[in-house]
Amino acid sequence: MYKRDCYEVKSNKNIANLVYEMVLEGPTTYITAPGQFINIEIDGFYLRRPISICEYDENTIKIIYKVVGEGTEVLAKLESGAKLDVLTGLGNGFKTIKCGEKPLLIGGGVGTPPMYQLCKNLINEGKEVTVVLGFNSKNDVFYEEEFKKLGAKVYITTADGSYGTKGFVTDVIKDLNDYTYFYACGPEPMLKAVYDNTNTTGELSFEERMGCGFGACMGCSCKTKYGNKRICVDGPVLKKEEIIW
């Protein structure tokens, strides 16, 4: 179930290269799991912008987004007090019930944010969490310290080797052997590499262009082993066993 409401921008700041962190104040009752997303209406644009939820509490939502086009350029210029029309409670989110005691969280670029609330929840459940985050370069890295403060063991990779381990998330994952489950979010090539290089079951969150965000337009349908699914409502999280590459 999704809900449409008006939210107020409480803060909006640059935290890495072209990456911004925004805090919105408004109802959060319809958010039920980490990994869900919101869909923001931006003045002057026909389609809303889907953005994953980084963190939420009783009356605020934190999102992290990258400026990649005109719509997100508008978002980046918003100041405190601005009002936004937002759909919340979208997507299925991650499940923590079957992850075992040592879950592995993998984020690539702006696939990192939904890992944060998930990490909080898992640590609150007493899990021993390992986080692997991949970026292009040192200037793109964000939230390393925030994950560490939660109590997670954190590895950073950069494609150009300017920070952390040189290479991709799989260059770290190949040396990790004691995780019991994995969660991943990021660009599709990264998800495919994670799929091929993990030795347990897990959940992968897919990025997809969406029209409506709540299943009406069928624009984000994809094939799975169990039939067609809509990324916006049946996803964005899919189980490893159901994915067809």
Q: Is residue 95 part of a domain?
A: no
Q: Is residue 219 part of a domain?
A: yes
Q: Is residue 153 part of a domain?
A: yes
Same domain, 108 and 209: yes
Are 182 and 103 a contacting pair, CB within 8 Å? Answer: yes
pLDDT in tens, 44-58: 998 899 999 999 999
- What CATH number does residue 46 fall under? 2.40.30.10
- What CATH number does residue 194 fall under? 3.40.50.80
Work out how many domains the chain is built from and give that number: 2
Cα separation values, 41 from 38, 71, 161, Å = 10, 9, 37
Same domain, 128 and 194: yes
Q: State the virtual CA torsion across 168, 172, 175, 177 in degrees, nearest 10.
A: -110
Q: Is residue 29 part of a domain?
A: yes
**45, 66, 90 - which closes a domain:** 90
pLDDT in tens, 155-169: 999 999 999 999 999
User: Within its chain, how far is the Cα of 232 from the centroid?
Assistant: 13
In this structure, the number of other CB atoms found within 10 A of the CB of residue 150 comes to: 16
Per the structure, the complete domain to which residue 108 belongs is given by 103-242
Q: Is residue 118 part of a domain?
A: yes
pLDDT of residue 184: 98
Q: Is residue 97 part of a domain?
A: no
The band of 235, judged by pLDDT with boundaries at 50, 70 and 90, is low
pLDDT in tens, 185-200: 999 999 999 999 999 9
The band of 221, judged by pLDDT with boundaries at 50, 70 and 90, is low
pLDDT of residue 84: 98
